[in-house]
Amino acid sequence: MAFFLQPGAPTPVPSRSFHPFVCLALDAITIYVSESRVVAPHGSLFEQFEILRRTAGVFVTLKKEGELRGCMGTFEPAQANTAVEIIENAISAGFRDPRFSPLSYEDLHDLCVSVDILTPTERIFRLDDLDPARYGVIVRQGMRRGLLLPGLDDIRSVEEQVAIARRKGGIGEQESIDLYRFEVERYH
């Protein structure tokens, strides 16, 4: 039985030793692919992890054979609590990321999942206040926004981090931007 979901949920893909938040994301994806339904977290999960009762932005990243297979999230809370935020963003990463086809049950084997719980954003005014290993960045120009998570292997400089976030937000290199940073608690 899936430990983190409501009693009676079908058995998920056998898991290795994952953090419980990753198990929650995997359980949500497994139930969605097998039954096309969204589940609610089991009440005991809230008793074990107080952080799940609060609200926070969450990103769920999926990789298959080391390659990105989906990544969706919210930089501000959109759900009643962090547990539901994980479930919704896991389903979005697996089935609604426009860059990839929806996952099949066969895709779940050897799927690597990480869950990032974001701290509240903080406005900054200098690039010196960023560090791509520690801080994620949000660039904003009017209603357009681009976000890049911290700790990505390929990102080695603040300038590269901001440039990628600009592209993701459709913001030109010469346009003025507002900068925000945040940290994440990353679970594998």
Q: What values do phi and psi take at 88, rounded to 5?
A: -65, -40
Q: Kindly tell me if the per-residue pLDDT of 33 is higher than 50.
A: yes
Residue 143 forms part of a structural domain: yes
* pLDDT band at residue 17 using 50, 70 and 90 as cut-offs: confident
The pTM of this model reads 0.90
Query: What H or E segment, with its residue span, contains residue 92?
Result: helix 82-95
74 and 139 fall within a common domain: no
The predicted model gives 147-158 an average pLDDT of: 95
Give Cβ neighbours of residue 135 (< 8 Å, ≥ 6 apart): 150, 181, 182, 183
* pLDDT band at residue 16 using 50, 70 and 90 as cut-offs: low
74 and 137 fall within a common domain: no
Count of domains for the chain:
2
Above pLDDT 90, what percent of the chain?
88
Range of the domain at 170: 122-187
Residue 67 forms part of a structural domain: yes
The b/e string for 31-43 (b: 16+ C-beta within 10 A; e otherwise) is: bbbeeeeebebbe
* pLDDT band at residue 131 using 50, 70 and 90 as cut-offs: very high
36 and 113 fall within a common domain: yes
Of 64, 95, 118, the residue that ends a domain is 118
Residue 5 forms part of a structural domain: no
Asked whether 159 and 139 are in contact (CB, 8 A), the reply is no
